[in-house]
Amino acid sequence: MPKPNCTSRADWRLQTGKPAEALSAHYRLDCDYGTAVIVCWQQGGSEPIYVCESHAKQLGRSREHGPEARVLTAPEAEQSNKPDKREVRTQSQEVAVPKRNGREARVPTAPQAEEGSKPVKREERTQVQEVAVVVANGSAPREVVRSRAVNKVGRALADSSVRVPVREQTYGNSAKAMVDEAIWNLAPGDKHVYRAALQQGKSATEAAEAAGGQLAVIHRKIGEYAGKLEAVLSESKARIHVGEAIDKPLDQRVLEIISDGTKSDFEKDSAIQQLGAIQEWVKQGLKGEITPTQANGILLAIGDRMKWGKAHGVPEEFKPLYRTIYVSLKTAIQSAVPEAQELHDRLTNLYAAKAELENC
């Protein structure tokens, strides 16, 4: 029977064979108690856990190394036929966790947990469905650890005490930037110093350096990736058709407005005029074909206008249009210059993280 999830804030970082580490207030992480991560740790897992004060005392703030625990994806566990390993049993829908005394602890997966009397958090169901914990040498696959880290950082960024608005993920994933650039555990940076520096006429980069923390690193990383991306795009001889990438989504929206029976002729004319203004702003006088570098410039302009997912001044009815044009241009750039995709994704995520920090 799984333990109920703890709703307290994590105060301690526990890891096998290492002293417990007190967490700074800026971590804002949930207590892991009650999740599948705890089961792995209790069997000697090498991955750290994050728990509140009371559960840190209950679990023990430090202990010697035990057997290494390895997290296997469900398909990998099902393919293993060796007698010394446990399988993911699809019929009984449970994960077998070996213990040192030979007995097994059964961790119900989502279908069983939902039938029980105790509620189970969705994130806990997902964890149990995806992994089987077995005693073995090695560590969790990198993609599993990274995915778990992105989810944890994402929860921290969206902490209820901060009350940040829901971000439009089309314009980047700020939590992924924190993990990919290894800056999630840094202090955010002094926003008062940052804003004061801007008011004094300093550039955003100079202000971020004065603020320090994540703000400073993010601004440096943006400059680094922007330079690399520009170099890759400028080398490409490919061309992007303006009509397909920009005009086509706008024309489609015009047809939708004209055929809308709920709008008066005056409302239709007004909406079409606003679409014309958007089209003029997006195209910036460009016609025919444009370079990937020019397309990326338009993409960045749209991202800035939409505050990388946190725009408030843009009318709701036009947000889907900006999103469609953004995705259309992004697809066209990636098709024209495939080798630029990773740089572009990293840069986009950093812009989202920058907006998250500057506007919270």
- What is the C-alpha to C-alpha distance for residues 349 and 186, in angstroms, rounded to an integer? 17
Residue 303: predicted pLDDT: 92
DSSP state of 98: E
Residue 105: predicted pLDDT: 43
Phi, psi torsion values for 332, nearest 5 degrees: -65, -40
Residue 36: predicted pLDDT: 67
- What is the C-alpha to C-alpha distance for residues 16 and 28, in angstroms, rounded to an integer? 22
**Two tokens, residue 32:** 């892991």
Residue 57: predicted pLDDT: 84
- What is the C-alpha to C-alpha distance for residues 304 and 231, in angstroms, rounded to an integer? 21
Give, in degrees to the nearest 5, the angle at Cα 213 between 141 and 199.
Answer: 140
The pTM score is: 0.56
Residue 112: predicted pLDDT: 45
Residue 343: predicted pLDDT: 93
DSSP per-residue string spanning 199-213: HTT--HHHHHHHH-H
pLDDT tens per residue across all 360 residues of the chain: 445 778 888 888 887 777 888 876 655 677 888 776 677 667 666 667 888 888 888 887 555 444 433 433 444 444 544 444 444 344 434 444 444 444 444 444 444 444 444 444 444 444 333 333 333 344 455 555 555 556 555 555 554 334 444 445 688 888 899 988 888 889 999 989 999 999 999 999 999 999 999 999 999 999 999 999 999 999 999 999 999 999 999 999 999 999 999 989 999 999 999 999 999 999 888 889 999 999 999 999 999 999 888 777 788 888 999 999 999 999 999 999 999 999 999 999 999 999 988 876
Domain boundaries, the chain: 12-156, 189-360
Residue 101: predicted pLDDT: 43
Residue 169: predicted pLDDT: 67
DSSP state of 44: T
Give, in degrees to the nearest 5, the angle at Cα 26 between 23 and 31.
Answer: 55
SS in 3 state form for 52-88? Answer: CHHHHHHHCCCCCCCCCEEEEEHHHHHHCCCCCCCCE
